[in-house]
Amino acid sequence: MSLALAPLDWTLLGLYGAVVVGVALRARRQSAQSEDFLLGGRRLPWWALGVSIIATAFSSISLLGWTWKGYSEGLFWIQLQAGEGLAVAVVAVVFLPWYAATRATTAYELLERRYGRATRWVASAAFHVATLLRAGILLFATAKALALFTELDVDASILVVGLAAMAYSSVGGLGAVVWTDLLQMTLVVGGVIGSIALIAGDLPAGLAQVAGGIGTGVRPDVVDLSPDPARHPSLWSALIAYGVLALSVAATSQTPVQRYLACRDLAQARRALVLSFGIGLGVMALTLFLGVALYAWNAHHGGSVERWHTGAAVASDTVFPGFIAERVPTGLAGLLVAAIFAAAMSSIDSAIHSMATATQVDFVERLARGPLADRRRLAWARRLTVLYADGVGFH
């Protein structure tokens, strides 16, 4: 099943695209040197970098997936944020002073200083592979969801999102990525809040009806203190297993580390990190609550959301798009589709730019016979950004 967007929806999508292009062109004027392109000249405001950290992590899969978790299991998964908070504390105390004491550009430069060149290359290569694969998955999931609203097939949708992210990443560098991340996260949060408000208006008891259904599902508790390892997530698995995973990403992945290194000093890097955690906690709670609200709305309307699924069971990537197709009026539908696009691009643009930066610094410059002239260094960075955008879109 599919539902074509109305002309007004397409107009709003086009307006969103025009704003993104305008932000990129403005950022280009401030990216005349290679350090501007790679690290925003280390002068980007900490609060914008903090939003960019969480925008990078909160992808279209997060928007659709956490909505599905709320729909199927309630607010249970919010306890993962306990592990996230522990990871943030460790990074702020242990890792950020180490990064701030250097003028590095990538996380892996520091590995060479302690463990040698081979360790740096292996770690950087592992980051490239993992990030490229994640970006491809994000594109595919987004394309499947958007197929409900457009006449584009999955391949064409992948091409559109990939080219859009490539365009402003290669033009404006990290500054363009950070400022568009801010715009895109604002759009995502606004879309989630708008959807919750729409649902509340449709239910006889409003949000009270939604809240009354919390705790009546398969996993009624918000926090699970059981020590049983088969129960996931529990508070203990969130703190230990998920905490280790979150720490590995926050402390060593080039994507968030690049934001820390773009801050002016240690204090601003810590503020950016803490802000990203606070926003992430709020966005995850909102998205899970949207899923709970969608469950109440679907029950009140006789299961109308579930008719949009395409398999034997309701799929995680069709619940929210199904609601948009089923209920959301013209205009707001365009904004919500733009929010799904935005959630995808805020992760994909960062993946493209961070891979280009790591290749530039860890391989191209490390293997060069001498220091590269700044103009040549900037040209390499732009070319690599385009190259990785092609790789994300076509692998």
Percent of the chain with pLDDT over 70: 87
Q: Is the pLDDT confidence value at 283 over 80?
A: yes
Inter-axis angle of helices 154-202 and 332-359, to 10 degrees? 130
Place of tokens 């949708």: 157
Q: Residues 312-341: what's their mean pLDDT?
A: 76
What's the gap between Cα 243 and its chain centre?
19
pLDDT in tens, 201-251: 998 888 887 876 665 444 446 777 777 777 778 888 889 989 999 999 999
pLDDT in tens, 102-131: 888 999 998 998 899 999 999 999 999 999
- The mean pLDDT value of the chain amounts to 84
Q: Residues 21-49: what's their mean pLDDT?
A: 85
Tell me whether residue 303 is exposed, middle or buried, using C-beta atoms within 10 angstroms of its C-beta: 0 to 12, 13 to 18, 19 or more.
exposed
pLDDT of residue 47: 97
CA within 13 Å, CB half, 54: 28
* Domains present along the chain, CATH in parentheses: 7-394 (1.20.1730.10)
pLDDT of residue 214: 63
Q: Which two tokens stand for residue 144?
A: 């499947």
pLDDT of residue 249: 94
pLDDT of residue 169: 67
pLDDT of residue 317: 64
DSSP 267-329: HHHHHHHHHHHHHHHHHHHHHHHHHHHHHHHHHHTTS-GGGG--SSS--TTTHHHHHHHHHPP
pLDDT in tens, 152-195: 777 777 777 767 766 666 677 888 889 989 998 999 999 999 99
pLDDT in tens, 92-110: 999 999 999 988 899 999 8
Q: Residues 12-30: what's their mean pLDDT?
A: 80
pLDDT confidence tier of residue 147, bands split at 50, 70 and 90 = low
